[in-house]
Amino acid sequence: MLTLSIMSFLTIIICVAVMLLASLISKKTITDREKNSPYECGFDPKGSARFPLSLRFFLIAVIFLIFDVEITLLLPLASIFNITKIFTWLLTSALFLLILLLGLYYEWAQGALEWSK
């Protein structure tokens, strides 16, 4: 038990040391106003070059990720078809698809899938 705690402590110390060393090495010492400003043919910028991220875009991306993960959960259903009973397989897949469709309907009803209003 003592060796495990010593090894854990040494691992934490090494990780902190590497992170501190990396942050010290990667610091820029020279900050130039011209290099930090957006490039517009040598002229001063008229406005901000960075636009805020649209919350709608972020919401659509999160919904895509959720359904993408659920698709990967659907893939093993095809491989266990021969192993399980047909009733169990149909009940499991129908219940899972019903939950997916209810979630999709809820997002649609809330207006999360509409890009512009």
* Mean pLDDT, contiguous 10-residue spans, the chain (117 residues): 89 94 77 64 62 76 84 85 89 90 88 73
pLDDT score for 98: 93
Domain spans, the chain: 54-117
Whether this model's pTM surpasses 0.85 = no
User: What distances in angstroms separate CA 93 from CA 77, 80, 87, 88, one per listed residue?
Assistant: 7, 11, 10, 9
Q: Find, among 38, 58, 61, the residue nearest to 48 by Cα.
A: 38
pLDDT score for 6: 92
Q: For tokens 């979630």, what's the residue?
A: 103
pLDDT score for 1: 76
85 phi/psi in degrees, rounded to 5: -75, 150
